[in-house]
């Protein structure tokens, strides 16, 4: 995302003074093709490679750290709910050796199935697919795929029960 788009997306559209309808319009005009019913202020978008389905809801301070191609895409289905301060992180690093451990950037996509609910303060790591109809408990770190219609919780998150 160029610096102009970044300013509009992360400086204007996400502010409290920007009404919801204008916020969603600005995101789409800047190339972020998302159709949620609501995105609250102070969310962050790193690139255009994000899709959010109809009926979805994103709460305050959530962050979409997508990359610059399909490998770094973040896809949320329809009717997904995202709590406060959730981090979707498609970006990691190769082991760069002991002079600088954080080596070359590596991107893996993230998918969240229709109808899932991600609680506040969760972190969704690169390459993860969360199935449809899941609940991810507040504060969980998701390091691997989650089966549909299941509750996951903890760090690292494990399946607690079927729903």
Ligand X SMILES: CC(C)(COP(=O)(O)OP(=O)(O)OC[C@H]1O[C@@H](n2cnc3c(N)ncnc32)[C@H](O)[C@@H]1OP(=O)(O)O)[C@@H](O)C(=O)NCCC(=O)NCCS
For 28, 126, 152, the CA distances from 58, given in Å and listed in that order, are 16, 19, 19
Select 18 or 137, whichever has its Cβ closest to ligand X: 137
Left, alpha or beta for 25 (phi > 0: left; psi -120 to 50: alpha)? Answer: alpha
Strand partners, 129: 111
Select 8 or 138, whichever has its Cβ closest to ligand X: 138
CB of 100 to ligand X, least distance (A): 34
Residues that bind ligand X (CB under 6 A): 59, 81, 83-84, 119-120, 135, 137-139, 151, 153-154, 160
Select 111 or 160, whichever has its Cβ closest to ligand X: 160
Choose, from 25, 37, 93, 101, the residue flagged as catalytic.
93
93 noted as active-site residue? yes
Q: What angle do CA 47, 52, 54 make, to 5 degrees?
A: 150
Question: Is 24 in a helix, a strand, or coil?
Answer: helix
CB of 143 to ligand X, least distance (A): 14
Q: Which residues are catalytic?
A: 93
């Amino acid at each position: 995302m160029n610096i102009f788009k970044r300013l509009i997306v992360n400086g204007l559209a996400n502010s409290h003074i920007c009404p919801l309808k204008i916020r969603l319009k600005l995101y789409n005009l800047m190339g972020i093709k998302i159709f949620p019913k609501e995105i609250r202020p102070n969310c962050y978008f790193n690139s255009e490679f994000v899709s959010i389905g109809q009926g979805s809801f994103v709460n305050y301070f959530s962050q979409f750290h997508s990359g610059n191609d399909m490998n770094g895409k973040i896809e949320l289905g329809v009717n997904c709910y995202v709590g406060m301060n959730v981090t979707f992180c498609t970006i990691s690093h190769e082991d760069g050796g002991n002079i600088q451990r954080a080596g070359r950037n590596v991107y893996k996509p993230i998918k969240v199935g229709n109808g899932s609910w991600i609680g506040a303060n969760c972190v969704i790591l690169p390459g993860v697919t969360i199935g449809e109809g899941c609940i991810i408990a507040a504060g969980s770190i998701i390091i691997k795929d989650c089966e549909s219609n299941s509750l996951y919780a903890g760090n690292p998150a494990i399946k607690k029960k079927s729903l």
